[in-house]
Structure 1
Amino acid sequence: MKKITPDEKQMMRKTYVKNLIHIIRTQGFLSLTIQDIAKTMNLSRASLYNYFSSKEDIIMELTNLCTDYINEAGKTISNEEISYPIRLQKVFEQAVSSAVYASDIYLTDLKTSCRHLYDKKMQSRKEQLSALHTFYRNGMHAEVFNQLNPSILVIQDETVLGKLVNTAFLAEEELSLKQALVDYYVAKKTQILKPEYLQSKENEDINAMVEGILKKLAVI
């Protein structure tokens, strides 16, 4: 059997923890056994230990994955060489990532059992909020965005997206996740962008943008 390289192993770790997103987002992880986790990952318990040393190691990988996605989007959001409409799409991607990876029950479990990971996540969150407020204020100053309260925009994303990634809510409303996100982003950009920027070609293919986000997060 071919021995996997460290890079291949790291890639597989990320792939396997993505399989846990839904169950951890909805149920948390404190009640999950290693056997439960292995089953959700489609691995035997013995195979799981080829990639992870412990349950905490698995949670650490998931937390790092979440933080990396948010930080990756944050680099684009802070890049003033990129237009505001394109960066607004990255703000949306970052908000969807947070809704998918960081549910209240997951954060509560993290705070209870892995305080150092929780503190790392909260520090990342603090930096994320600061960058978002700066982005919105600068966009308003540049007269690309309407004059709105950045804190309200952040809370709005957290509230709406937290609801939209809830499969029970989607089923009740007879919505697909993709369509719900497309419709919300259309509402969001109409609310934020001044009319002259709404006609930009950079905003045309919203369906492709949302599909790209969902593929990256491995939730379609």
Structure 2
Amino acid sequence: MRKIAPDERQMMRQSYVKKMINVIRTQGFLSLTIQDIAHIMNLSRASLYNYFSSKEDIILELTNFCITYIDEAGQTISNEELSYPLRLQKVFEQAVFSAAYASDIYLNDLKRSCPSLYEKKMQSRKEQLSAIHSFYQNGMKTGVFNELNPAILIIQDETVLRKLINTSFLMEEELSLKQALYDYYKAKKFQVLKPEFLIDTKNKDINELVDCILQKLAAI
């Protein structure tokens, strides 16, 4: 087998751990064997070891991938050169992926098996919530957002989006994920933005945002 360059190997590691997200979100990872993981990644056990040294290495890569995404999204949310409506879209996107990447099942398994990695994940989460809280507060101070409780807005996103990415819920309600995300973000936009900032009556921005999110989710 040809030698894999470090950059290519890192890209492949991320590509393979992304295939684990849905399983780990719904089932956790403590009960998974290396053979189970190789099957999910569509690799032979031998090929898996070309990219990962152990099951712990896989969980480390997955967790660091999630943390990096949150940190990068946080930089956009805190970028005051961007408009508040545009950054609100990023808050929504980040909330969707937080719901997809970090379920309670996954976090409980991480806390039990990798305490230091769990603490790192929780610190990243704490910084994420602080940035979003400040974003809402500043938006209210500048007169772009309605006067609302940032903590309630944050917990609302966490609760609703965890429900929306649940396939069984969507089936029960006869909803597509695209329609569910579209409807929720539309409601969020009207809830948060003052009327004078709701200039896109055709909601083209929502269509583009949801399509972008779905494309990224499809890559998982």
TM-score normalised over the length of structure 1 = 0.96
Q: Which runs of 5+ in 2 are unaligned?
A: none
Q: Percent identical across equivalent pairs? A: 75
Name the residue aligned to 2:133. Answer: 133
Contact kept, 8 Å, 1:140 with 1:147, in 2: the verdict is yes
Deviation track 1:74-118 (CA, whole Å, cap 9, x = no partner) reads: 001000010000000000011011000000000000000011110
**Hey, what does 2:197 align to over in structure 1?**
197
Q: How does 1:55-204 map to 2 (within 5 A)?
A: 55-200=55-200, 204=204
In 1, Cα distance between the equivalents of 2:69 and 2:176?
23
Aligned-residue CA RMSD in angstroms? Answer: 1.5
Once residues 132 and 172 of structure 1 are traced to their aligned partners in structure 2, the CA distance between those partners, rounded to angstroms, is: 32
> How far apart are residue 204 of structure 1 and its match?
2.6
Question: Partner amino acid for 2:3?
Answer: K
Deviation at 1:200, TM superposition (A): 4.3
SS in 2 for 1:31: coil
Shift of residue 216, structure 1, vs aligned partner:
2.5
Instruction: Give the aligned residue type for 2:212.
Output: G
State which drifts further: 198-207 or 171-180.
Answer: 198-207
One-letter amino acid of the structure 2 residue matched with residue 184 of structure 1:
Y
Shift of 1:201: 8.2
Following the alignment from structure 1 to structure 2, what is the Cα–Cα distance between the partners of residues 163 and 75?
A: 27
Name the count of aligned residue pairs: 220
Task: Output the CA distance in 2 between the equivalents of 1:63 and 1:202.
Answer: 38
Structure 1 unaligned spans of 5+: none
- Alignment of 1:30 with 2:34, yes or no, is no
Separation of aligned partners in 1, 2:218 and 2:8: 18
SS at match of 2:32: coil
TM-score (norm 2): 0.96
